[in-house]
C-alpha cells in the first residue's frame, strides 16, 4: 500500500499557505476599504474658504499672525487651483465662518498692523463688506453665527500684562452687545452646535494659569455652563473644535493630534494618523473632514481631506510653499441651530444654586466627617472674598442665592468648620437662573437618585448669604 502524498508535514505546509492567503486577503480588503473611503471623501468637494499666512504661531488672540494673513477662496478641491484673495484690504484676517445659507462669510480682521481686531461680514465675492463690532479696547476674534441674526465671538484684553478673555454676543447689526461668560479660564469660542449651544474651550479647572484645557458648552444667554466631557486622565490642550454631521465633535489636542468625541461617548478617542500634525478641522460633508496637516519634516501646513472615522490616509487638496494653509471651511448651506429662548429675569441681581447631594463626588474627600455647611467664595479684582455660609441638609442638599454675573466657588465644611472638599472651578449664574448639580464634582455618567431633596422639601426660600446683595439693591447688574 503506497503512502499518501498528504503526510502530516504536508498538511502543516498547506495550512500555512492557507493562513498566508487569508492574511493577504484581509490586507487587500482593508486596503480596498481605505481606498473606497478616500475616494468617497474626495467626491464632490465644495468650495473652501481658508486662511493663508506667511508665519503662524501657537499664540491665541492677536499674536497668531505676526506677519499678517488673508482669507482666500478655493473654487474647487484641486491642488493646482489658485485661490482667490477675499481680504486684500486687510493686514490680517482669520477665523472665517460661512452663514447658514452658504452665501456670506463672517471673519475677524485687522485693517492695519497694530489696530484692534474687529468682526466683519462680506459676500463670497468680497462685496458688501461691513464692520459689525467696534472694539475700542480689545481684540474681537473667533466669531460664529447664532440663530435670530446674532453672532458670538471672543473678546481678548490685556490687564497688568495678563491676557483676559470672555465670550460675547451681539446682533448682526452691531446692537445689544453683552458678555455671556463671567469667570476666569481663558475662554475661546470654538463653534455653535446644532442644538443651539455654544461650544468653547477653557482652562480646567476654570481658573487662570491652568495647563489643562477642556471643551465646555453654554447657552447663548450665558446660562448652563458645563464641561462637554470631564477628562481627567491626562493634562492636554484641547481646542480648534468643530461639530460633524453625525454629532461627533472633532478637535485637536496637544501638539497636533486629531481627536473625536462621538455622540453619547464618555471619553475622547484619537482619529489622527501618526507622523502628522493636525490643525483647525472642519466638517466637509457627511463622511469627511477638511483639515490642515503638516508632516514631521514639512515647513508648511496644507489642506487635506480625511474620512470622518479616520480610516485611510489624508489626501492633500491644496498646498503652497510660501504660506501655511489653515482654518478651512466648506462653502455650503447647513442647518440653522436651535434657538434657545432666554428665561433670564434681567431685573434680578441674583441667581440660585441647588445641590442634590454635595457628598456625591468622583474625588476622594479630605475627611470622613459629614458635610454640615457650604461656604461661598466670590472672585473680584482683589482676589477671593467670602460671601457667607449656608447650611447643608442631612441628605447633602443645599439651596442658596448668589449674586448674578459673579464668579463664585464652593467650599464644603464639617461641623467644626474644617474643609471637607472644595471646588476649584469658578462658575456663575445669570439673573434669575436656577442652576442645579447632582453633587460636588459628581459622576456625569450616573443619573442622580430619584428623590426630593430636603433643601426643597422644606419649601423655604433659598439661603441668602450675608455678603450677597438683596434683589433690587443699589449697584445691581441689570445687563443682559
Predicted pLDDT at 205: 92
Cis peptide before 427 (omega within 30 of 0): no
Predicted pLDDT at 304: 94
Please report, in tens digits, the pLDDT of each residue of the chain (480 residues total). Answer: 433 333 334 444 444 544 444 444 444 444 344 333 333 344 467 899 999 999 999 877 678 999 999 999 998 645 557 899 999 999 999 999 999 999 999 999 999 999 999 999 999 999 999 999 999 999 999 999 999 999 999 999 988 778 899 999 999 999 999 999 999 999 999 999 999 999 999 999 999 888 899 999 999 999 999 999 876 666 889 999 999 999 999 999 988 999 999 988 878 999 988 889 999 999 997 789 999 999 989 999 999 999 988 777 889 999 999 999 999 999 999 999 999 999 899 899 999 999 888 877 656 554 456 899 999 999 987 789 999 999 999 888 999 999 999 999 999 999 999 998 888 899 999 999 999 876 665 555 555 666 777 888 877 888 888 665 544 333 333 344
**3-class secondary-structure state, position 425:** coil
CB 402 within 8 A of CB 350: yes
Predicted pLDDT at 457: 81
The reply to whether 335 falls in a domain is: no
Domain match, 370 and 270 both: no
Residue 378, φ and ψ in degrees, nearest 5: -110, 160
Angle 196-291-248 from CA coordinates, rounded to 5° = 40
Comparing C-alpha atoms, which of 338, 303, 288, 287 is closest to residue 146?
338
Predicted pLDDT at 291: 96
Residue 42, C-beta contacts closer than 8 angstroms, at least 6 positions apart: 77, 305, 315, 317
Domain match, 304 and 365 both: no
CB 71 within 8 A of CB 87: yes
200: cell is 468653547
The reply to whether 90 falls in a domain is: yes
Domain match, 411 and 454 both: yes
Domain match, 284 and 361 both: no
Q: Work out how many domains the chain is built from and give that number.
A: 2
42: cell is 474626495
Comparing C-alpha atoms, which of 423, 378, 386, 387 is closest to residue 405?
378
Q: Residue 438: which CATH number?
A: 2.60.40
- Order of all β-strands in the sheet with 288-295: 276-283, 288-295, 302-307, 315-318
Domain match, 164 and 292 both: yes
Last residue of a domain, one of 301, 330, 359: 330
User: Measured between alpha carbons, how far is 108 from 153 in angstroms, rounded to an integer?
Assistant: 9
223: cell is 446660562
Predicted pLDDT at 392: 92
Cα torsion 132, 133, 134, 139 to 10°: value is -140
Domain match, 454 and 380 both: yes
**3-class secondary-structure state, position 216:** strand
List the domain range (segments joined by +) for residue 165: 42-330
CA 433, 437, 441, 443 dihedral sign is: negative
Last residue of a domain, one of 296, 330, 364: 330
Q: Residue 72: which CATH number?
A: 2.120.10.30
**3-class secondary-structure state, position 272:** coil
Domain match, 293 and 175 both: yes
The reply to whether 18 falls in a domain is: no
Domain match, 283 and 382 both: no
Residue 63, C-beta contacts closer than 8 angstroms, at least 6 positions apart: 57
Residue 315 bridge partners (DSSP): 305
The reply to whether 448 falls in a domain is: yes
User: Measured between alpha carbons, how far is 107 from 94 in angstroms, rounded to an integer?
Assistant: 6
Domain match, 276 and 384 both: no
The reply to whether 22 falls in a domain is: no
The reply to whether 19 falls in a domain is: no
The reply to whether 336 falls in a domain is: no
Domain match, 397 and 280 both: no
Domain match, 206 and 316 both: yes
CB 259 within 8 A of CB 271: yes
Last residue of a domain, one of 261, 295, 330: 330
The reply to whether 289 falls in a domain is: yes
CA 428, 378, 349, 439 dihedral sign is: positive
Predicted pLDDT at 118: 98
Domain match, 306 and 369 both: no
Amino acid at each position: 500500500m503506497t503512502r499518501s502524498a498528504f503526510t502530516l508535514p504536508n498538511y502543516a505546509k498547506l495550512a500555512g499557505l492557507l493562513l498566508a492567503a487569508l492574511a493577504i486577503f484581509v490586507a487587500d480588503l482593508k486596503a480596498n476599504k481605505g481606498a473606497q473611503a478616500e475616494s468617497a471623501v474626495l467626491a464632490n468637494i465644495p468650495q473652501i474658504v481658508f486662511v493663508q499666512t506667511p508665519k503662524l504661531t501657537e499664540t491665541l488672540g492677536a499674536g497668531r499672525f505676526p506677519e499678517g494673513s488673508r482669507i482666500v477662496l478655493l473654487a474647487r478641491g484641486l491642488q493646482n487651483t489658485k485661490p482667490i484673495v477675499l481680504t486684500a484690504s486687510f493686514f490680517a484676517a482669520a477665523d472665517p465662518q460661512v452663514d447658514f445659507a452658504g452665501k456670506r462669510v463672517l471673519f475677524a480682521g485687522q485693517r492695519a498692523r497694530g489696530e484692534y481686531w474687529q468682526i466683519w461680514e462680506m459676500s463670497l465675492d468680497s462685496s458688501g463688506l461691513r464692520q459689525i463690532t467696534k472694539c475700542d479696547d480689545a481684540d474681537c476674534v473667533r466669531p460664529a453665527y447664532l440663530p435670530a441674526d446674532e453672532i458670538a465671538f471672543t473678546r481678548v484684553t490685556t490687564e497688568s500684562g495678563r491676557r483676559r478673555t470672555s465670550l460675547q454676543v451681539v446682533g448682526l447689526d452691531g446692537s445689544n452687545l453683552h458678555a455671556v461668560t463671567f469667570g476666569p479660564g481663558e475662554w475661546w469660542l470654538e463653534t455653535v452646535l446644532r442644538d443651539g449651544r455654544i461650544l468653547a474651550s477653557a482652562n480646567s479647572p476654570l481658573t487662570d494659569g491652568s495647563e489643562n484645557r477642556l471643551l465646555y458648552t453654554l447657552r447663548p444667554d450665558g446660562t448652563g455652563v458645563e464641561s462637554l466631557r470631564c477628562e481627567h486622565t491626562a493634562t492636554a490642550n484641547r481646542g480648534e473644535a468643530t461639530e460633524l454631521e453625525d454629532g461627533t465633535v472633532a478637535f485637536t489636542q496637544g501638539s497636533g493630534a486629531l481627536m473625536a468625541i462621538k455622540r453619547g461617548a464618555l471619553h475622547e478617542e484619537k482619529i489622527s494618523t501618526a507622523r502628522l500634525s493636525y490643525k483647525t478641522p472642519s466638517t466637509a460633508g457627511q463622511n469627511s473632514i477638511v483639515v490642515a496637516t503638516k508632516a514631521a519634516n514639512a515647513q508648511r501646513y496644507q489642506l487635506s481631506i480625511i474620512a470622518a472615522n479616520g480610516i485611510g490616509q489624508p489626501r492633500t487638496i491644496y498646498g503652497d510653499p510660501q504660506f501655511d494653509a489653515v482654518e478651512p471651511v466648506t462653502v455650503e448651506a447647513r442647518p440653522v441651530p436651535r434657538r434657545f429662548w432666554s428665561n433670564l429675569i434681567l431685573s434680578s441681581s441674583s441667581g440660585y444654586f441647588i445641590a442634590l447631594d454635595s457628598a456625591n463626588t468622583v474625588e476622594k474627600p479630605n475627611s470622613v466627617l459629614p458635610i454640615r455647611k457650604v461656604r461661598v467664595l466670590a472672585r473680584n479684582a482683589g482676589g477671593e472674598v467670602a460671601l457667607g455660609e449656608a447650611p447643608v441638609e442631612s441628605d447633602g442638599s443645599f439651596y442658596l442665592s448668589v449674586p448674578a454675573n459673579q464668579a463664585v466657588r464652593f467650599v464644603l465644611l464639617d461641623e467644626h468648620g474644617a474643609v471637607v472638599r472644595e471646588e476649584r472651578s469658578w462658575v456663575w449664574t445669570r439673573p434669575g437662573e436656577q442652576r442645579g448639580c447632582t453633587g460636588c464634582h459628581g459622576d456625569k455618567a450616573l443619573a442622580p437618585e430619584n428623590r426630593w431633596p430636603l433643601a426643597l422639601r422644606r419649601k423655604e426660600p433659598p439661603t441668602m448669604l450675608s455678603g450677597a446683595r438683596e434683589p433690587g439693591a443699589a449697584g445691581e447688574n441689570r445687563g443682559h
